[in-house]
Amino acid sequence: VKRVLVTGASGFLGRHCLSALILRGYDVHAVSRAVSREAAPGLGSGVQWHHVDLLDARATRDLLESVQPSHLLHLAWYTEHGAFWDSPENIRWLEAGLAMARMFCASSVARRFVGAGTCAEYSWRSGVCVESETLLAPASLYGACKHALHTVLATYSAQTRVSCAWGRLFLLYGPHEDRRRLIPSVARALLAGEPARCTHGNFARDMLYVADAADAFVALLDSDAEGAFNIASGRETRLADAITHVANYLGRPELLRLGALPAREEPDTLLADVRRLQTAVPWTPRHSLFDGLDLTCDWWRRQSAQVAE
C-alpha cells in the first residue's frame, strides 16, 4: 500500500494534489490546521482528513504514528501574503519541517519524502535558474529557510532508506490563489467594474497553472528521482501580456491601468530551466498560459457571482 500524508492539503497547491494522488492509487491522508466547511466538500472524496497544528511537535508525532505513511508530501508553510518573505514564522516552519522529516525517516515504513521549495532559494541574478548551475543564495528569510530544509533533508536521506526530492516552485496562478496577489487582484477589480492599477508589467516570469504544478509534484512523489527540481512551465511570459489577456477575456480591457503603480525592486527576468524535471518524470503542463488564465478568470467570475448573490 502506498499511503501518503499531504501537509498543507487545503492550501492553494495542496488541494489540487489530492485527486491526482487518488488516481495514482494512493491511500490519501491530508493534514490541515483547520479545514473550513466551505472548502472541504470539493477537496477529494476518499481523502482522510486530520486537523493538526504542525507547529506542535507532539501532535505531529502522534499524527505520524497513527497514519504510518510510506510517502510524505510536505507542502505546508507560512504563506501570509506580503509578510511571508521575512517573517520569523519561516524559522518556525523550518523547525517543524525538520522535526517532521526526522520523525518520518525514523519510521520503518517510510519510503519517500517530497517537499516544496522555491525559486527564492536561488540567486536571482542569473535570469534563468538551472538546478545544477545557479548559485543558491537566498536573499529572503523565506528562501533561506526553504533552502536550509532541503540541504538537511538531502544529506539525511542519503543515509536512510528514505529517498527525497524537492520541487522548487516559481510563479503559480489559478483558482484559490490569495486574492491580494497579481492575477486575482486584477481579475476581481475588473469583475467589479473597477480600474485595475498595475505596474508596467515588463517582467519576464515563468507562470504555471496550479493544477499542473500539483500534477508535477504527484509525478515526482510517485518516482524515485532524487534531488532538487524546478517545477515550472519552462515558458517565458511577460506579466503585462498575462494581465492584458485577463482583461480581454473578462471583456474589460479599458479598465486595465498598466504603469499606474511604481514597480517594486524585483528582477527583470526570473525563469526556470525544466529539463531536469522533464527528464526525471513523465510530466508536461496540460494547460497553455491562456487556457489556464481563462479557467482562472471563470473561477473568479463564479466567486464574484456567489458573493453578489
Positions touching a second copy (CB under 8 A) are 86, 88, 91-92, 94-95, 98-99, 101-102, 105-106, 138, 140-141, 144-145, 147-149, 151-152, 154-156, 159
CB of 13 to a second copy, least distance (A): 23
CB of 131 to a second copy, least distance (A): 15
CB of 90 to a second copy, least distance (A): 8
* C-beta of 103 vs 258, nearer to a second copy: 103
Q: Name which of 135, 94, 84 is nearest 115 in CA terms.
A: 94
DSSP per-residue codes, the chain: --EEEEETTTSTTHHHHHHHHHHTT-EEEEEES---TTTGGGS-TTPEEEE--TT-HHHHHHHHHHH--SEEEE------TTGGGT-THHHHHHHHHHHHHHHHHTSTT--EEEEEEEGGGB-TTSSEE-TTTS-B---SHHHHHHHHHHHHHHHHHTTSS-EEEEEEE-EEESTT--TTSHHHHHHHHHHTT--EE------EE-EEEHHHHHHHHHHHHTS---EEEEES----EEHHHHHHHHHHHTT-GGGEETTSSPPPS--SEEEE--HHHHHHSS---SS-HHHHHHHHHHHHHHHHHHHH-
CB of 118 to a second copy, least distance (A): 14
CB of 92 to a second copy, least distance (A): 7
* C-beta of 152 vs 204, nearer to a second copy: 152
CB of 277 to a second copy, least distance (A): 23
CB of 79 to a second copy, least distance (A): 18
Distance between CA atoms of 63 and 294, rounded to whole angstroms? 39
* C-beta of 17 vs 145, nearer to a second copy: 145
